[in-house]
Amino acid sequence: MPELPEVETVRRGLQPVMEGQAITHVELRREGLRWPFRDGMAGRLAGATVENLRRRGKYILCDLSSGDVLLLHLGMSGRIQIHGAGTGQVGVFHHDAGAVGRHDHVVFHLTSGTLIVFNDARRFGMVDLFPATGEADHFLLRNLGPEPLGNAFDAARLKAAFANKRTSVKSALLDQRIVAGLGNIYVCEALWRAGISPVRKAGAIGERRLEALISAIREVLLDAIESGGSTLRDFRHADGELGYFQHRFAVYDQEGKPCRTPDCKGKIRRITQAGRSTYYCAHCQR
């Protein structure tokens, strides 16, 4: 479920548990995820203290006392679970007994006794470690566009990024080089809020509408983060899982349902763009 709001929710959940803690050791339960893990990663992590947790687009970045940065990306199906001291997970996770969950690929052991477990059924997620000095050049980070909630994301910049683009605005917004952190759900939701058709060519949208689009993107992300935050308060009662986010979407996965725009008589449609589902209202999105 990880787009920007879910990743931010996970980051906020991990922050109080990880920051200030040292990693005593790390178990790599397979050779890698999308790619083999970086050589020596587990050894370099051992003994390092987590100083700070940041988010960049859909990536969580942990600044370590060792001078390295730990990168986590949840892909499509990644989850991070917190087990152990103070999490109320008594009886759920018997790691020493060998009852490791299916698809638990990386386990971080902290000095507090807490375990941070990276679980990813489809293994599209990523875990990497690199020197902080190399962050700007990191192959996963160097081409990321601006943060949608930051000041650098404005109509002038979006206009420049969309200039001469023949692709649809839907596909363009999924391109992490244009803006970092949106995925299929929030692109659909933002376009609906902005009243912009997903099939419109990116380069053909005027600056005023781009301003509306930017506002819509910010609002939908902030609403979702707020919603995720309220879910987060309960995560320990539920199942210890972070990144589980329930939200009622206006268009995503709502095919055939009436459009929620006041006075709009349209129904939500599903089409395929660049191989992925797009949901929208053809009546009020132009």
Partner DNA sequence: ACCAGCTCCTGCTTGC
Partner DNA sequence: TGCAAGCAGGAGCTGG
**Tell me, what amino acid is at 6?**
E
Is residue 3 close enough to count as binding DNA by CB under 7 A? yes
| Position among 66, 114, 171, 254 found at the interface with DNA (CB under 7 A) | 171
- For 214-239, letters b (16+ CB in 10 Å) and e give bebbeebbeebbebbeebbeebbeee
Residue 34: is it exposed, middle or buried by C-beta count within 10 angstroms (0-12/13-18/19+)? middle
Is residue 148 close enough to count as binding DNA by CB under 7 A? no
How many positions of this chain bind DNA (CB under 7 A)?
A: 35
Strands 23-28 and 104-110 turn out to be: antiparallel
Residue from 24, 1, 142, 12 nearest 77 by CA: 1
Are the CB atoms for 79 and 241 separated by under 8 Å? yes
Please indicate whether residue 3 is annotated as part of the active site.
yes
Are the CB atoms for 130 and 71 separated by under 8 Å? yes
Is residue 275 close enough to count as binding DNA by CB under 7 A? yes
| Position among 49, 77, 112, 215 found at the interface with DNA (CB under 7 A) | 77
| Position among 12, 123, 200, 283 found at the interface with DNA (CB under 7 A) | 123
Local structure of 93: helix, strand or coil: coil
Residue of 11, 44, 58, 170 marked catalytic: 58
Helix 207-232, helix 4-18: angle, nearest 10: 40
Q: Which range touches DNA (CB under 7 A), out of 82-90, 151-159, 177-185, 206-214?
A: 177-185
Please indicate whether residue 58 is annotated as part of the active site.
yes
Please indicate whether residue 165 is annotated as part of the active site.
no
Is residue 54 close enough to count as binding DNA by CB under 7 A? no
| Position among 103, 157, 218, 236 found at the interface with DNA (CB under 7 A) | 103
Instruction: Kindly state the smallest distance separating residue 228's Cβ from DNA, in Å.
Output: 9
Q: Half-sphere exposure of residue 189, counting CA atoms within 13 Å on the CB side?
A: 21
User: Looking at beta carbons only, is 110 or 180 nearer to DNA?
Assistant: 180
| Position among 65, 67, 76, 265 found at the interface with DNA (CB under 7 A) | 76
Instruction: Kindly state the smallest distance separating residue 16's Cβ from DNA, in Å.
Output: 23
User: Looking at beta carbons only, is 49 or 184 nearer to DNA?
Assistant: 184
| Position among 94, 166, 265, 286 found at the interface with DNA (CB under 7 A) | 166
Strands of the sheet with 68-73, listed across from one edge: 50-56, 59-64, 68-73, 126-131
Contacts with DNA, residue ranges (CB under 7 A)? 1-3, 6, 34, 57-58, 73, 75-77, 102-103, 121-124, 140, 143, 164-168, 171, 174, 176, 183-185, 245, 274-277
Catalytically active residues are: 2-3, 58, 276
